[in-house]
């Protein structure tokens, strides 16, 4: 096998970009990487990506947070049981507040952590193929394919409205 | 007929990036003024710490007065930011895109300011960390039954989540800014956006976590002001001890927060030349929220009084009687005027479109909502169970300075943010471009 | 960027450490105390087996244990010196009358004002002096062995099922 | 309280102790340990020693016990052995320590230079100058004057010896409130003076003619105790017993308010009212015929006092007078007390007591036991002599005539003619301003002496600590000068005051000394604080020949438009208390005003004069003018303007100087009332009070029940629907060993403020000054709740000591984020100062408002800090503080019990307030011990039991006993 080739299609329009991706995918191109300035639902749908695993992290973080909230409150109350106002040592009702807040805090934090982890952030260097345009007003679709499939990809990109198509040897 | 502006991605970027240009001298004079006020307040605070809280006019029985009022006020201000950014995000309200960054920035700085207020108020601020659980040789931990500990948890969670939420929104925008700028700015923005590039994978996780954060922030925001309200509702004091406090405070918080968004947005939009992005349509929508929450707040006032009357509890009845007709009566009626009567003007579409009037109304609401908290806090404490121990607080120079300091701090932080980080979310505007265009079209049609 | 983060971390660390160092805890027992007289607990309590409370006589009946009056020192060193072949002490208490009033022992153990510590109940409970003061009988110069902080007290109190109410020590 | 009174011995200030004055914050205690050379048997470092002595703050002569820690007195308590105080004390007695440690005490002898300023000089120089002057003056006769208050017998004897040896007779006994009218009345009624001892507790009916016996009149601690017995209702039901008290006088003092009926009376007619009552008694045949009681003479005497005529003049209804007479005459034991400044009222009181057969029953009279010798001169004689230039040396000791003598006496002018004026005292006062030599003398806490409250009660005073300043005992000055200057050799042949007092006692009690000899007698007297024995009262008869002319009503007041009614301030008394910040800061119980003087004006009078609250008014008598702010109150007769005595010092230390006005400056000698003219002053001065309103808004704070209800034996209805049972969501907290509690009887409470002063002393409560009180920063842990009900079916005034209720469901506790407010397993609501971070939430949530925040770092100007209790942390700025039932005493008691292997005994632990309370209104004990005195008291008075703000369900550990009252409209 010869080295795969990366082809870039630059779009100005979200819809055209999405259509381009869909046509590529229909044509069997699966190694696609898209840079977009907006979190476009269309583009993501077109890529038919799986749902992000961060939600699992948030769920687990949230559950852990709530549990740790109860563990913290009950645990500290038991280390040194102080009576205050005649309330029971383990006063679950107020502890719910703490658990609730910790649930949200840890859920949020683990969500962010998962995002950074999966999104490979912070990133010190640019990904190959990134262009400053892609944070502004251009969508960039990189297709990785065998050298023999380049022509078709290029034409598919052009047909969907890419304003320019480039080829790069990876 | 004026041409309908047809902004595209590039124009949006340009408009927003223009706000990040190096500001002129007027801006620095403004910042300098605010900084001076902050420094003055800081000196007053140092004096207060050094000499004791006796330099304020806090006294028996007004152990809490302006500092806690400021705290509740600023936490309340924070709320609308989360409402606009998170709740409306979940509801897919398209008009939020233009205003949500302003609101969210306001949230972050308002929570920060709010977090300072309890510190100002502590008798021994150097031990503030005893409020947090940490391992220590004394075996001592905070009492999780105390609403103040709930506060510490709620507010610090809120601060964390709202900053993260703000930061999440900022990432792609700052990436845009990075790519549009050069030199140290590029470096700085590069740091802030963590090297964001907007690949599909990143966006996938971004969208996932953003939605979930919005989902978490929504119950959070409701819990935070509920917890703040429980600072009062958990106490036995007539005028505080009330079951309706949580919804009442949350509504009041959103009310005051939206008013504050208006107060900030109307000048900012002019100052930073964002009239094309933040249209009267956006403002109109905000004004409707203000009107709606004002009605809730009015209803709460009525319910509160009704409950006092219906309970026939002599302490409650007396406290409310004093609230209306006692030495703080004038504050109460001023509050009613600001919070209940003035917002009724917003029923008129003309008023909602009249920015000057709207600005004045929003300022009055801010005053009214500050007074509401003051009347609840100082007023209820003033007429406590022991008639011999009643007393009425009057502000001192220190308290007034520190209060001014919180405003100056907030405005300074906001102003700095507005000129160094994107105050409008370009990404979301771009994403919602067609709604923006629609809004502009509608705007010009109405203008015609 | 990476270096920046490290820098910030180092700054925080340095700040924290210096805070910890600068925030003196003056109530802690001090190990750098030099006494005006080269008095040796090792000789008195260790070799001569003088019970602690012979000199610190108030320990069993008062809050303070008390330092021995000069009379107690002189009691052995002057009158019994010949008999027991003690090192006869003629200075500074006997020859020089003025100095007799001027012995100022430096405190080794101090507690902050908000801590009330009574020696008497501890002595009555049979707590050995060494439990807190360490093996004084082996020390020429008394230096603290334990850091006497709240955790130290709590540990012993819980072990012995004694009250750890706040008002046991703080009022 | 078991008092360990040890043999007195001189203490060393530099005691070997680690516990130096507690300083706030984390600063370590003393850095050095200084050993004794020879240990003192009495001093155990860290453990208090107790020394019995006798108080000298007023003439009552209560026995006290000084608590000494490491050589300094930190607290005074009543002496339980002493029959007068029986372990209780009063606010003035407690505050004596602030006189001892007063920062403005003269530090060393001073001489006034030519420039009028005083400069310190050595004692030798001072004594040399006095000796020289005395030697010269003693050459002639009556050239030396000694002006001092009436002192204890030993000192009186020493002065007598001294002045005699110096060839003079000018011993002037001067005290502004010395009961001269009472003595004169006794002269009239009985032909000579006796020493009265009242037994209010044996009476059923009490009539006070302006006698403020709970505050300043007679022996307040003793009388308050008796009054509490008299006025505590017992036997609920038809056989209820409850003393009936009337107060006739122009002003509602706390005594008046605590009597059942306060009858505002024109100041000129108190005597007339008393005599009208007597007339009714005689007319109705209620008098008790007794040998020597000439009924006809009495009838003639009271004939002019027709109740109806008197009633209109005095402002009291005739029916009321009749009713009072009826009740007074029929009672099994009644007592009339007079405190007016006119003799006639005292005569009326004596006649009433005598005619109803109460002499020897509710009043005992004793033969006075003054040592033989010439009676003391009064001030006028000395002033005349000074004025004539006859006096060469005047020694003025512990009295302040320049402040308190009437301007009519012209004391100052006369004194300026004396070549050498020697002032001996503590804080330099107005009289010291006129002295050439100022000598600091020992405060009574540092000095020897004795008292004789009445025959049979002989208090001994001993130094309980070494001197605070470079002072000398007054007795030593007398002894030394007598030795050096007297021509006669053996006048005072003693080493020092101790010797002299001992010798005097040896001589005086030679017949009382038992077989063990005088040394044993003396030691016991030192240990017990005196010698207490029973002396039979004298059998007294009215003087048979009693003429109409004996009764002189104060004519100058009759028909006067406005009358100044000066009254001794309950705490500042004649002005001598003004230098003590505690006494300045404890609010006068009725007006609740602090740090100032005021003019009480009736609302009608205020309308007539067109003055409002805080307006300055000028009150002008022929002798001068004073300017005071107006305080409008219904508690004063419309014809009178009541002004407290005690303020208006131009000297006398930083706390007294330039504060308020001095009514002595407008009063004639020996009088407290005078007709005045009124002028509007310029502007206002805010009268500062820690109290917002006197209206209780009908809340369940001070609860009451009428005597009728008590007689029906029904417990009053609760104020609100009680909580449904069970009222708790949670399991009740279990207290394993003790559960401390308190019972406070509101019928016994006299509002005297002794508890407040005791709390200041015990708990290192800082005083804050007038401005900070105005700003709501007062720190008192226990305060007097005072409410002024206005309806006819209410009592005159409601008072209630309000301190931390130690709630079982304390609202303050769960709101504290850091467990600084936390419950102990002994039921105490603790405040851990070092844990507090000052959120102040606890005080917001405290319904009783008994928590206090340290707004500033507290300050005690040196050497006031020496009074601080080393067992209590001094709180720094920024923390909350409050009452914890004197947890340091509880701990001390528990440790004591622990080391003695026993349980804590009931009554062993007493908080400072309960210990001080003269009327024994406060009882402390363990709620888990049903046999404790505290629980017994609750059971005995079951019908009256209630808790403050009970509907809040805070479950306080303090139980109040409801005040039973007679509705004031019934009179």
Question: pTM, whole model, 2 decimals?
Answer: 0.91
Q: Which residue of C has its CA nearest to B137?
A: C151
Q: Is D733's Cβ below 8 Å from some Cβ in A?
A: yes
Number of inter-chain CB pairs under 8 A, A vs D? 37
Angstrom CA distances, B438 to B270, B279, B425, D534, stand at: 21, 11, 18, 109
- DSSP class of residue C81 equals T
Q: Is C151's Cβ below 8 Å from some Cβ in B?
A: yes
Query: Which tops the pLDDT comparison, B135 or C101?
Result: B135
CB atoms within 10 A of CB D937: 18
**Angstrom distance (rounded) from CA B218 to CA B215:** 6
Among the partner-chain residues B137, B190, B191, the one whose CB lies closest to the CB of C151 is B137
Identify all chain A residues contacting D811, using CB atoms and an 8 Å cutoff. 85
Looking up residue B225, the CATH number of its domain turns out to be 1.20.1630.10
Q: Return the structure tokens found at D233.
A: 């209702």
Q: Above 70 in pLDDT, residue A42? A: yes
Please give the full DSSP string across B372-428, using - where no structure is assigned: HHHIIIIIHHHT-S-GGG-------HHHHHHHHHHHHHHHHHHHHHHHHS-SS-HHH
Q: Above 90 in pLDDT, residue A163? A: no
Question: CA B238, B243, B244, B248 torsion: positive or negative?
Answer: positive
Q: Is D736's Cβ below 8 Å from some Cβ in C?
A: no
The CA distance from A126 to the nearest CA of chain C, in Å, is 15
Identify all chain B residues contacting C154, using CB atoms and an 8 Å cutoff. 138-139
How large is the greatest C-alpha to C-alpha distance in chain A, in angstroms? 81
Identify all chain B residues contacting C4, using CB atoms and an 8 Å cutoff. 191
**Angstrom distance (rounded) from CA D507 to CA B207:** 106
Which of A80, A101, A118 is at the close of a domain?
A118
> Do the beta carbons of residue D824 and residue D957 sit within 8 Å?
no
Which secondary structure element, helix H or strand E, spans residue B94, and what is its range?
none
Q: Above 70 in pLDDT, residue B1? A: no
Among the partner-chain residues D811, D815, D823, the one whose CB lies closest to the CB of A83 is D823
Residues forming beta bridges with residue D263, ordered by sequence position: D248
Q: Which residue of D has its CA nearest to B59?
A: D776
Q: String of b and e for D460-499 (b: at least 16 CB within 10 Å)?
A: bbbbbbebbbebbbbbbbbbbbbbebbeeeebbebeebbb
Instruction: Report if residue C22 sits inside a domain.
Output: no
Q: Can you point out the beta strands (E) in D281-343?
A: 334-338
Angstrom CA distances, C18 to B81, C6, C26, D349, D790, stand at: 39, 18, 16, 79, 65
Angstrom CA distances, B419 to B16, B21, B74, stand at: 10, 7, 22
Instruction: Report if residue B3 sits inside a domain.
Output: no
Which of A83, A99, A118 is at the close of a domain?
A118
The CA distance from B103 to the nearest CA of chain C, in Å, is 30
Number of inter-chain CB pairs under 8 A, C vs D? 143
Domain ranges of chain D: 110-177+371-528, 195-366, 561-684, 739-970
3-state secondary structure of D42: coil
Beta-carbon-side half-sphere exposure of residue D667 (alpha carbons within 13 Å)? 25
3-state secondary structure of B34: helix
> Do the beta carbons of residue B421 and residue B263 sit within 8 Å?
no
Say how many domains are in chain A. 2
3-state secondary structure of D806: coil
Q: Return the structure tokens found at D114.
A: 């030519």
Q: Dihedrals φ, ψ of D917, to 5°?
A: -50, 115
Q: Return the structure tokens found at D506.
A: 């040896």
Which chains lie within 8 Å of chain A at 3 or more CB pairs, if any? Answer: B, C, D
Q: Dihedrals φ, ψ of D274, to 5°?
A: -60, -40
Burial class (CB in 10 A: 0-12, 13-18, 19+), B13: buried
The CA distance from D895 to the nearest CA of chain C, in Å, is 6
The CA distance from D804 to the nearest CA of chain A, in Å, is 14
Identify all chain A residues contacting C153, using CB atoms and an 8 Å cutoff. none
Interface test with A, best of B133, B138, B157 (most A CBs within 10 A): B157
Which segments in chain D show pLDDT lower than 50? 1-28
Instruction: Report if residue C149 sits inside a domain.
Output: yes
Lowest mean pLDDT among B133-137, B359-363, D24-28, D539-543: D24-28
Which chains lie within 8 Å of chain B at 3 or more CB pairs, if any? Answer: A, C, D
Interface predicted TM-score of the whole assembly (ipTM), two decimals: 0.90
Q: What percent of chain A has pLDDT over 70?
A: 97
Among the partner-chain residues D730, D809, D821, the one whose CB lies closest to the CB of A88 is D730
Q: First CA to last CA across chain A, in angstroms?
A: 14
Say how many domains are in chain B. 1
pLDDT computed for residue B382 by the predictor: 92
> Do the beta carbons of residue D588 and residue D605 sit within 8 Å?
no
Mark yes or no for CB contact A122/C1 under 8 Å: yes
Among the partner-chain residues D35, D45, D830, the one whose CB lies closest to the CB of C166 is D830
* Domain interval for residue B118: 9-447
Q: Above 80 in pLDDT, residue C94? A: no
Mark yes or no for CB contact C1/A124 under 8 Å: yes
Phi-psi region of B216 (alpha: psi -120 to 50; beta: other; left: phi over 0): alpha
Residues forming beta bridges with residue D567, ordered by sequence position: D644
* Domain interval for residue A69: 54-118
Mean pLDDT, chain C, rounded, equals 79
Encode pLDDT of A78-99 as tens digits: 988 998 988 888 989 999 999 9
Identify all chain C residues contacting A122, using CB atoms and an 8 Å cutoff. 1
Q: Is B147's Cβ below 8 Å from some Cβ in D?
A: yes
Class of domain D110-177+371-528: alpha beta
Q: Above 70 in pLDDT, residue B38? A: yes
Interface test with B, best of D771, D804, D845 (most B CBs within 10 A): D845
Q: Which residue of D has its CA nearest to A90?
A: D730
Contacts of C85 (CB under 8 A, 6+ apart): none
Q: Which residue of A has its CA nearest to C154?
A: A80
Q: Is C154's Cβ below 8 Å from some Cβ in B?
A: yes
The CA distance from C103 to the nearest CA of chain B, in Å, is 36
- DSSP class of residue D339 equals -
Phi-psi region of A48 (alpha: psi -120 to 50; beta: other; left: phi over 0): left
Identify all chain A residues contacting B189, using CB atoms and an 8 Å cutoff. none
Q: Is B14's Cβ below 8 Å from some Cβ in A?
A: no
Please give the full DSSP string across D782-818, using - where no structure is assigned: SEEEEE---STTS-S-EEEEE-----TT-THHHH-TT
Among the partner-chain residues D35, D830, D888, the one whose CB lies closest to the CB of C70 is D35
Mean pLDDT, chain B, rounded, equals 89
3-state secondary structure of A123: coil
Among the partner-chain residues D691, D816, D853, the one whose CB lies closest to the CB of B143 is D816
CATH of domain D195-366: 3.40.228.10
Q: CATH classification of D561-684, choosing from 3.65.10.10, 3.30.43.10, 2.40.40.20, 3.40.50.720?
A: 2.40.40.20
Identify all chain C residues contacting D825, using CB atoms and an 8 Å cutoff. 163, 165
**Angstrom distance (rounded) from CA A33 to CA A142:** 5
Whats the size of chain C, residue-wise? 171
**Angstrom distance (rounded) from CA D210 to CA D265:** 9
The CA distance from A83 to the nearest CA of chain D, in Å, is 5
Among the partner-chain residues A82, A83, A85, the one whose CB lies closest to the CB of D811 is A85
Residues 135-164 of C with CB under 8 A from A: 164
Residues 224-243 of B with CB under 8 A from A: 227
pLDDT computed for residue C91 by the predictor: 47
**Angstrom distance (rounded) from CA B108 to CA A113:** 20
Q: Which residue of B has its CA nearest to C147?
A: B137
Same domain, yes or no, for C117 and C135?
yes
- Which residue matches tokens 């006769």? D141
Average pLDDT over residues B184-189: 86
Instruction: Report if residue B419 sits inside a domain.
Output: yes
> Do the beta carbons of residue B73 and residue B372 sit within 8 Å?
no
CA D96 to chain centre: 11
> Do the beta carbons of residue D60 and residue D219 sit within 8 Å?
yes
The CA distance from B399 to the nearest CA of chain D, in Å, is 14
Same domain, yes or no, for A15 and A41?
yes
Among D892, B152, A146, D308, smallest CA distance to B144 is for B152
The packing angle between helices D518-528 and D497-508, to 10°, is: 110
pLDDT computed for residue D872 by the predictor: 92
Contacts of D776 (CB under 8 A, 6+ apart): B59, B60, B61, B62, B391, D690
pLDDT computed for residue A99 by the predictor: 95
Q: Is C5's Cβ below 8 Å from some Cβ in A?
A: no
Same domain, yes or no, for C80 and C135?
no
Same domain, yes or no, for C122 and C158?
yes
- Which residue matches tokens 């100095």? C99
pLDDT computed for residue D690 by the predictor: 93
* Domain interval for residue C98: 68-104
Q: Is B181's Cβ below 8 Å from some Cβ in A?
A: no
Mark yes or no for CB contact D35/C69 under 8 Å: yes
Instruction: Report if residue C54 sits inside a domain.
Output: yes
Say how many domains are in chain C. 2
Mark yes or no for CB contact C150/B191 under 8 Å: no
Q: Dihedrals φ, ψ of B65, to 5°?
A: -150, -105
**Angstrom distance (rounded) from CA D783 to CA D142:** 52
Same domain, yes or no, for C94 and C34?
no
Identify all chain B residues contacting C156, using CB atoms and an 8 Å cutoff. none
Q: Dihedrals φ, ψ of B97, to 5°?
A: -55, -40
Q: Does domain D739-970 have CATH number 3.30.70.20?
A: yes
Q: Is A31's Cβ below 8 Å from some Cβ in B?
A: no
Encode pLDDT of B71-95 as tens digits: 999 999 998 888 888 888 888 877 7
Mark yes or no for CB contact C164/A80 under 8 Å: yes
Same domain, yes or no, for A107 and A58?
yes
Identify all chain C residues contacting B191, using CB atoms and an 8 Å cutoff. 1, 4
Among the partner-chain residues D36, D47, D834, the one whose CB lies closest to the CB of C114 is D834
Lowest mean pLDDT among A132-141, B244-253, D860-869: A132-141
Instruction: Report if residue B165 sits inside a domain.
Output: yes
């Amino acid at each position: 096998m010869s080295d795969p080739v990366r082809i870039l299609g630059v779009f100005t329009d979200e819809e055209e970009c999405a259509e381009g991706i869909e046509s590529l995918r229909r044509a069997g191109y699966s190694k696609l990487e898209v840079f977009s300035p907006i979190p476009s639902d269309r583009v993501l749908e077109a890529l038919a990506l799986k749902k992000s695993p961060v939600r699992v992290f948030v769920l687990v973080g949230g559950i852990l947070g709530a549990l740790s909230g109860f563990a913290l409150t009950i645990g500290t109350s038991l280390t040194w049981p102080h009576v205050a106002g005649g309330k029971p040592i383990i006063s679950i009702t107020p502890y719910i507040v703490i658990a609730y807040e910790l649930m949200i805090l840890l859920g949020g934090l683990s969500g962010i952590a998962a995002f950074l982890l999966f999104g490979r952030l912070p990133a010190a260097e640019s990904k190959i193929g990134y262009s400053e345009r892609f944070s502004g007003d251009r969508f960039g679709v990189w297709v990785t394919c065998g050298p023999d499939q380049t022509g078709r990809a290029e034409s598919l990109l052009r047909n969907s409205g890419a304003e320019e198509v480039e080829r790069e040897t990876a | 007929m004026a041409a309908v502006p047809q902004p595209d991605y590039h124009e949006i970027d340009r408009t927003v990036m223009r706000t990040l240009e190096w500001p002129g001298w007027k801006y620095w004079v403004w910042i300098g003024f605010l900084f001076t006020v902050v420094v003055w307040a800081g000196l007053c605070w140092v004096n207060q710490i050094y000499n004791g809280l006796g330099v304020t006019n806090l006294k028996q029985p007004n152990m809490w007065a302006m500092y806690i009022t400021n705290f509740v006020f600023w936490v309340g201000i924070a709320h609308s930011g989360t409402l606009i950014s998170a709740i409306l995000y979940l509801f897919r309200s398209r008009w939020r895109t233009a205003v949500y960054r302003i609101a969210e920035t306001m949230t972050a700085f308002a929570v920060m300011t709010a977090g300072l207020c309890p510190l100002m108020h502590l008798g021994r601020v150097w031990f503030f960390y005893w409020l947090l659980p940490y391992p220590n040789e004394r075996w001592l931990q905070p009492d999780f039954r105390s609403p103040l500990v709930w506060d510490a948890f709620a507010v610090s969670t809120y601060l964390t989540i709202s900053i993260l939420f703000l930061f999440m929104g900022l990432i792609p925008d700052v990436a845009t800014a990075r790519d549009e700028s050069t030199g140290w700015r590029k470096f700085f923005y590069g740091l802030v956006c963590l090297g964001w590039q907007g690949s599909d994978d990143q966006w996938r996780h971004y969208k996932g976590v953003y939605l979930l954060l919005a989902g978490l922030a929504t119950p959070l925001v409701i819990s935070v002001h509920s917890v703040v309200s429980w600072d009062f509702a958990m106490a036995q004091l007539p005028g505080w001890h009330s079951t309706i406090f949580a919804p009442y405070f949350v509504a009041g918080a959103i009310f005051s927060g939206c008013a504050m968004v208006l107060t900030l947005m109307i000048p900012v939009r002019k100052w930073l030349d964002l009239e094309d992005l933040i249209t009267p349509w956006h403002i109109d929508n905000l004004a409707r929220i203000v009107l709606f929450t004002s009605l809730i707040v009015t209803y709460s006032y009525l319910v509160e009084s009704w409950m006092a009357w219906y309970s026939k509890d002599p302490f409650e009845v007396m406290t409310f009687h004093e609230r209306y007709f006692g030495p703080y009566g004038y504050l109460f009626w001023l509050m009613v005027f600001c919070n209940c009567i003035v917002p009724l003007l917003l029923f008129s579409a003309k008023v909602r479109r009249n920015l000057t009037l709207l600005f004045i109304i929003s300022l009055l609401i801010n005053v009214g909502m500050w007074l509401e908290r003051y009347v609840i806090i100082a007023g209820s404490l003033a007429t406590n169970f022991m008639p011999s121990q009643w007393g009425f607080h009057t502000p001192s120079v220190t308290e007034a300075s520190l209060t001014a300091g919180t405003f100056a701090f907030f405005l300074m932080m906001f102003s700095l943010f507005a000129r160094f980080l994107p105050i409008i979310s370009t990404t979301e505007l771009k994403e919602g471009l067609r709604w923006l265009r629609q809004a502009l079209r509608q705007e010009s049609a109405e203008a015609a | 960027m990476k270096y920046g983060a490290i820098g910030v971390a180092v700054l925080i660390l340095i700040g924290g450490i210096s805070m910890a160092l600068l925030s003196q805890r003056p109530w802690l027992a001090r190990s750098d105390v030099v006494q005006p007289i080269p008095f040796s607990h090792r000789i008195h309590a260790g070799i001569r087996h003088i019970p602690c409370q012979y000199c610190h006589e108030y320990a069993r009946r008062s809050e303070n244990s008390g330092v021995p009056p000069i009379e107690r020192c002189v009691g052995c060193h002057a009158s019994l010196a010949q008999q027991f072949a003690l090192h006869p002490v003629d200075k500074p208490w006997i020859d020089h009358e003025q100095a007799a009033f001027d012995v100022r022992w430096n405190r080794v153990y101090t507690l902050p004002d908000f801590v009330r510590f009574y020696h008497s109940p501890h002595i009555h409970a049979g707590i050995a002096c060494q439990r807190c003061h360490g093996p004084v009988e082996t020390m020429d110069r008394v230096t603290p062995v334990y850091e006497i902080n709240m955790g130290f007290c709590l540990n012993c109190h819980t072990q012995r099922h004694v009250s750890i109410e706040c008002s046991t020590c703080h009022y | 309280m078991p008092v360990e009174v040890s043999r007195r011995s001189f203490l060393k200030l530099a005691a070997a102790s680690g516990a130096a004055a507690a300083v706030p914050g984390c600063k370590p205690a003393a850095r050095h340990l200084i050993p004794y050379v020879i240990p003192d048997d009495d001093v155990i470092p860290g453990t208090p020693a107790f020394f019995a002595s006798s108080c000298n703050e007023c003439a009552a002569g209560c026995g006290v016990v000084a608590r000494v820690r490491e050589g300094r007195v930190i607290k005074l308590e009543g002496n339980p052995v002493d029959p007068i105080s029986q372990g209780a004390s009063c606010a003035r007695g407690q505050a004596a320590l602030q006189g001892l440690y007063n920062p403005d005490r003269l530090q060393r002898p001073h001489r006034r230079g030519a420039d009028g300023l005083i400069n310190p000089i050595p004692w030798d120089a001072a004594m040399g100058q006095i000796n020289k002057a005395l030697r010269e003056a003693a050459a002639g006769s009556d050239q030396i004057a000694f002006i001092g208050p009436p002192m204890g017998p030993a000192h009186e004897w020493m002065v007598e010896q001294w002045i005699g040896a110096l060839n003079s007779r000018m011993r002037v006994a001067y005290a502004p409130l010395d009961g001269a009218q009472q003595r004169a009345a006794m002269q009239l009624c009985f032909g000579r003076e006796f020493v009265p001892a009242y037994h209010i507790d044996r009476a059923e009916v009490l009539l006070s003619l302006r006698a403020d016996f709970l505050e300043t009149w007679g022996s307040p601690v003793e009388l308050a105790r008796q009054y509490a017995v008299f006025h505590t209702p017992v036997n609920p039901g038809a056989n209820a017993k409850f003393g009936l008290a009337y107060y006739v006088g122009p002003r509602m003092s706390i005594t008046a308010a605590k009597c059942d009926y306060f009858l505002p009376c024109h100041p000129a007619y108190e005597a007339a009212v008393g005599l009208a009552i007597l007339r009714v008694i005689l007319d109705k045949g209620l008098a008790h015929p007794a040998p020597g009681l000439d009924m006809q003479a009495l009838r003639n005497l009271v004939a002019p006092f027709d109740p109806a005529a008197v009633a209109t003049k005095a402002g009291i209804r005739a029916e009321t007078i009749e009713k009072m007479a009826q009740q007074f005459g029929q009672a099994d034991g009644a007592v009339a007390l007079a405190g007016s400044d006119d003799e006639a009222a005292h005569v009326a009181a004596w006649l009433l007591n005598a005619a109803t057969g109460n002499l020897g029953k509710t009043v005992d009279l004793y033969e006075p036991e003054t040592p033989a010798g010439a009676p003391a001169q009064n001030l006028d004689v000395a002033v005349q002599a000074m004025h004539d230039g006859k006096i060469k040396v005047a020694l003025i000791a512990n009295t302040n005539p320049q402040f308190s003598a009437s301007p009519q006496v012209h004391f100052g002018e006369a004194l300026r003619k004396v070549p050498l004026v020697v002032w001996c005292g503590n804080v330099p006062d107005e009289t010291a301003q006129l002295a050439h030599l100022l000598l600091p003398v020992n405060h009574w806490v540092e000095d020897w002496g004795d008292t004789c409250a009445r025959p049979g009660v002989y208090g001994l005073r001993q130094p309980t600590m070494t001197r605070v300043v470079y002072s000398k005992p007054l007795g030593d000055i007398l002894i030394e000068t007598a030795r050096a200057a007297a021509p006669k050799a053996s006048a005072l042949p003693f080493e020092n005051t101790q010797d002299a007092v001992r010798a005097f006692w040896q001589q005086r009690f030679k017949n009382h000394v038992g077989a063990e000899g005088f040394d044993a007698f003396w030691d016991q007297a030192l240990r017990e604080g005196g010698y207490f024995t029973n002396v039979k009262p004298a059998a007294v008869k009215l003087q048979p020949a009693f003429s109409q002319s004996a009764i002189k009503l104060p004519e100058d007041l009759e028909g006067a438009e406005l009358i100044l009614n000066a009254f001794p301030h309950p705490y500042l008394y004649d002005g001598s208390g003004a230098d003590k910040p505690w006494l300045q800061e404890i609010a006068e119980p009725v007006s609740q005003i602090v740090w100032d003087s005021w003019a009480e004006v009736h609302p009608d009078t205020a309308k007539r004069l067109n003055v409002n609250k805080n307006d300055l008014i000028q009150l002008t008598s022929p002798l001068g003018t004073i300017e005071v702010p107006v305080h409008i109150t219904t508690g004063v007769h419309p014809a009178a303007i009541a002004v407290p005595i005690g303020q208006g010092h131009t000297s006398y230390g930083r706390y007294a100087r330039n504060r308020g006005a001095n009514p002595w400056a407008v009063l004639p000698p020996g009088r407290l009332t005078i007709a005045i003219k009124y002028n509007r002053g310029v502007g206002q001065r805010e009268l500062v009070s820690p109290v917002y309103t006197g209206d209780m808004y009908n809340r369940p704070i001070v609860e009451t029940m009428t005597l009728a209800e008590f007689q029906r034996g029904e417990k009053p209805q609760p104020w609100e629907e009680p909580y449904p049972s069970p009222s708790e969501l949670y399991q009740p907290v279990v207290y394993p060993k003790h559960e401390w509690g308190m019972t406070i009887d509101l019928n016994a409470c006299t509002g005297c403020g002794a508890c407040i002063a005791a709390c200041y002393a015990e708990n290192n409560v800082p005083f804050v000054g007038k401005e900070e009180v105005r700003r709501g920063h007062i720190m008192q842990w226990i305060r007097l709740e005072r409410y002024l009900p206005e309806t006819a079916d209410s009592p005159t005034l409601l008072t209630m000591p309000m301190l931390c209720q130690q709630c079982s469901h304390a609202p303050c506790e769960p709101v504290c984020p850091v467990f600084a407010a936390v419950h102990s397993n002994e039921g105490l609501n603790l405040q851990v100062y070092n844990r507090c971070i000052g959120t102040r939430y606890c005080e917001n949530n405290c319904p009783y408002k008994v928590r206090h925040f340290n707004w500033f770092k507290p300050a005690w100007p040196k050497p006031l800090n020496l009074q601080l209790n080393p067992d209590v942390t001094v709180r720094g700025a920024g923390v909350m503080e409050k009452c914890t039932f004197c947890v340091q005493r509880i701990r001390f008691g528990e440790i004591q019990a622990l080391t003695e292997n026993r349980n804590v005994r009931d009554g062993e632990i007493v908080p400072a307030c309960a210990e001080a309370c003269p009327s024994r209104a406060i009882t402390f004990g363990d709620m888990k011990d049903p046999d404790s005195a505290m629980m017994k008291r609750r059971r005995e008075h079951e019908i009256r039991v209630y808790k403050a703000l009970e509907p809040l369900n805070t479950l306080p550990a303090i139980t109040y006993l409801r005040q039973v009252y007679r509705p004031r409209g019934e009179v």
